[in-house]
Amino acid sequence: MTDVNQIPAPVATAVLEHVVRSIVDDPDAVAVDASHGRHRVRLEVRVGPNDLGRVIGKRGKTAQAIRTLVRAAASRDGVEVDVDFVD
């Protein structure tokens, strides 16, 4: 586990990880990587091979809802975030 003070957006990262782990079949395969962009923090989510469709949802509605929730949580961190779901 990394130190919370070293994560660029600790609240947003924790919310994202919790939500995604609750959706997928294999919560141990969930990994969230945070990196600094120009004016934003980029959060990349990796899930197990069979769970990507679950996280994206029909027509991307689940992914969009997750992004909205995480952006709201990022306001507590005082940053803006982009959430990417990667293969």
Output the six-digit token pair for 20.
């995604």
Per residue in 22-78, pLDDT (tens digit) is: 999 999 999 999 998 778 899 999 999 899 999 999 999 999 999 999 999 999 999
Environment class of residue 41 by beta-carbon count within 10 Å: exposed (0-12), middle (13-18) or buried (19+)? buried
Residue 48 near residue 75, CB atoms below 8 Å? no
The confidence score (pLDDT) of residue 1 equals: 46
In this predicted structure, the answer to whether residue 81 has a pLDDT above a threshold of 70 is: yes
Strands (E), the chain: 31-36, 41-46, 81-86
Output the six-digit token pair for 29.
């395969």
Half-sphere exposure of 38 (CA within 13 A, CB side): 0
Q: How many domains does the chain have?
A: 1
Output the six-digit token pair for 38.
């120009």
| 28: containing domain | 4-86
List the CATH number of the domain containing 14.
3.30.300.20
The confidence score (pLDDT) of residue 5 equals: 54
